[in-house]
């Protein structure tokens, strides 16, 4: 069992969820309530990582964040280490790849909140933040939770993008998924099997707990008709 790889995967998943959540709430809400020209194009761009092969996303991230790119050069000058083949690059890639997994469920959850409730909140004297925290987020909570779980589970299992952007550096960029691949390459099927089983159980538990957590609140708060 490659414990450092598991810890790294959990760190990567946790940080991705933590950093992506505010962005996903802001963008998901904005897309739910604002109508503007080019909205469909923007939604399609945000959903791209869902349909593109991970190697294609990985290739563009590698060239876009690599040492010869503007971002890569700026990063190296500012932080003293390259972005690619480093945990920070892996995290940035993970944030980008997980945008649709976080944004889409949250966006759908905000869309289900009737306009009438937001009108009522405004007429109750609630400003933007009070409406967000006392009305919208409690009602969109199942969608927010789904977004968080999908992001975390997807990060644990991500392989192609991680390999392209981070490589396989133990303790730095080697995640459980990479470690499993590494063990199979070395014909260590016992270790690969143990890690695969752990990943399977972990993902299943996370999904089941989150599903059970979100569902009762969804039943309890019956949203009124639009």
Interface contacts to other proteins, rule CB under 8 A = 114, 116-117, 119-127, 130, 134-135, 138-139, 217, 220-225
- Separation of alpha carbons 23 and 110, rounded Å: 14
Of the pair 3, 128, the CB lying nearest other proteins is at: 128
Cβ 28 to other proteins, closest distance in Å?
19
Reduce the DSSP state of residue 218 to 3 states and report it: helix
Of the pair 77, 220, the CB lying nearest other proteins is at: 220
Of the pair 77, 226, the CB lying nearest other proteins is at: 226
Is 175 within 8 Å of 9 (Cβ atoms)?
yes
**Residue 13: both structure tokens together:** 């998943």
CA distances, 94 to each of 6, 21, 87 (Å):
16, 13, 10
Cβ 112 to other proteins, closest distance in Å?
11
Of the pair 44, 124, the CB lying nearest other proteins is at: 124
> Which of 147, 133, 196 is CA-nearest to residue 28?
147
Cβ 129 to other proteins, closest distance in Å?
12
Of the pair 7, 122, the CB lying nearest other proteins is at: 122
Of the pair 122, 204, the CB lying nearest other proteins is at: 122
Name the CA dihedral angle for 80, 86, 88, 90, rounded to a multiple of 10 degrees.
160
Cβ 131 to other proteins, closest distance in Å?
10
Reduce the DSSP state of residue 101 to 3 states and report it: helix
- Separation of alpha carbons 162 and 94, rounded Å: 8
Cβ 29 to other proteins, closest distance in Å?
17
Is 97 within 8 Å of 161 (Cβ atoms)?
yes
b/e burial code for range 75-108 (CB count within 10 A of at least 16 → b): beeeeeebbbbbbebbbbbbbbbbbbbbbbbbbb
Cβ 69 to other proteins, closest distance in Å?
45
Residue owning tokens 């590698």? 62
Cβ 142 to other proteins, closest distance in Å?
11
């Amino acid at each position: 069992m490659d414990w450092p790889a598991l810890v790294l995967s959990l760190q990567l998943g946790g940080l991705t969820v933590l950093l992506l959540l505010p962005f996903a709430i802001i963008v998901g809400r904005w897309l739910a309530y604002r109508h503007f020209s080019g909205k469909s194009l923007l939604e399609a761009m945000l959903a791209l990582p869902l349909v593109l092969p991970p190697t294609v996303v990985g290739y563009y991230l590698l060239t876009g964040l690599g040492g010869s790119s503007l971002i890569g050069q700026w990063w190296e000058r500012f932080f003293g280490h390259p972005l690619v083949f480093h945990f920070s690059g892996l995290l940035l890639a993970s944030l980008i790849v997980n945008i649709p997994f976080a944004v889409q469920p949250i966006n759908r959850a905000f869309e289900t909140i009737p306009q009438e409730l937001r009108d009522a909140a405004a007429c109750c004297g609630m400003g933007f933040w009070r409406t967000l925290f006392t009305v919208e987020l409690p009602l969109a909570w199942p969608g927010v939770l789904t977004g968080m779980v999908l992001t975390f589970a997807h990060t644990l299992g991500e392989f192609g993008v991680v390999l392209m952007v981070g490589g396989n550096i133990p303790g730095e960029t080697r995640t459980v998924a990479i470690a499993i691949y590494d063990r199979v390459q070395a014909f260590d099927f016992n270790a690969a099997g143990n890690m695969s089983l752990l990943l399977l159980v972990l993902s299943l538990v996370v999904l089941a707990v989150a599903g059970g957590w979100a569902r009762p609140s969804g039943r309890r708060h019956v949203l009124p008709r639009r």
